Chain A
Amino acid sequence: EAGVTQFPSHSVIEKGQTVTLRCDPISGHDNLYWYRRVMGKEIKFLLHFVKESKQDESGMPNNRFLAERTGGTYSTLKVQPAELEDSGVYFCASSRRNYGYTFGSGTRLTVV
């Protein structure tokens, strides 16, 4: 089966601009997660979708971040407006059952 696909793989934007990250989960995986690793720090949970519903968004840092999952398929994570501290690697993961995570390769976001 195809893996979890994230794009773009890299994005460099200026402070104040908007960026949208996309994640295509493995087909049939109802659970979709977003995580983020800021440089030098731990990978941290952002949010969890079950199908199209947000199950847990306790890790979202602030209201500049908006996540959606259209029709329970792919998901987008929009940052608007981007700030310097948003730089990092954003990982998406999906699972059919809990703990059967498959991670994508990540999107490296650099805000300058």
Chain B
Amino acid sequence: AQSVTQLDSQVPVFEEAPVELRCNYSSSVSVYLFWYVQYPNQGLQLLLKYLSGSTLVKGINGFEAEFNKSQTSFHLRKPSVHISDTAEYFCAVSDEGSNYKLTFGKGTLLTVNP
């Protein structure tokens, strides 16, 4: 069975500071990894995904994540955040055996302060 742990439920940062949102997963097979973002009153939007290939994945809005198989992690980073990045971020995992359904973490609320 798969599981996802997002180690921080809330992350407050100041504008223009760097941020890292942590995600660890457990799975017995090869995995596919995703980060989604939910802005207030909106649906889930895909930020980036790792399916295969390069372990450094670049997404929208300047975010990137690195797949680390040995540490079973997929941390999300951004070098300089904006007020508009305030949202809830979800890490998710899937694999071929799960028929492409996603297993999500509990989410991390990123609050960017001026």
* Residues of chain A at the chain B interface (Cβ within 8 Å): 3-4, 31, 33, 35, 40-45, 48, 55-56, 59, 91, 93, 98-99, 101, 103-106
Contact = CB atoms under 8 A, between A and B. Distances in A.
B43 A48 contact: no
Closest CB pairs A-B (n = 9): A103-B44, A98-B100, A105-B43, A43-B104, A103-B43, A45-B101, A42-B104, A56-B99, A42-B106
B42 A45 contact: no
Given A55-B99, A56-B101, A43 B94 contact: no
Contacts of B92: 43
B45 interface: yes
Nearest to A108: B41
B100 A45 contact: no
A106 B38 CA distance: 11
B83 interface: no
- Place the interface of chain B in its size category: 20 to 34
Nearest to A33: B101
Interface in B25-69: 32, 36, 41-46, 49, 51
B104 A44 contact: yes
Which of A3, A35, A93, A103 is most buried by chain B, counting CB atoms within 10 A of its CB? A103
Contacts, number: 51
A43 B43 contact: no
B51 A42 contact: no
B85 to A, nearest CB: 19
A55 B92 CA distance: 20
B58 to A, nearest CB: 17
Contacts of A91: 43-44
B91 to A, nearest CB: 10
Which of A4, A33, A101 is most buried by chain B, counting CB atoms within 10 A of its CB? A101
Nearest to A58: B101
Contacts of B32: 99
Contacts of A3: 43
Nearest to A41: B106
Interface in B72-100: 90, 92, 94, 99-100
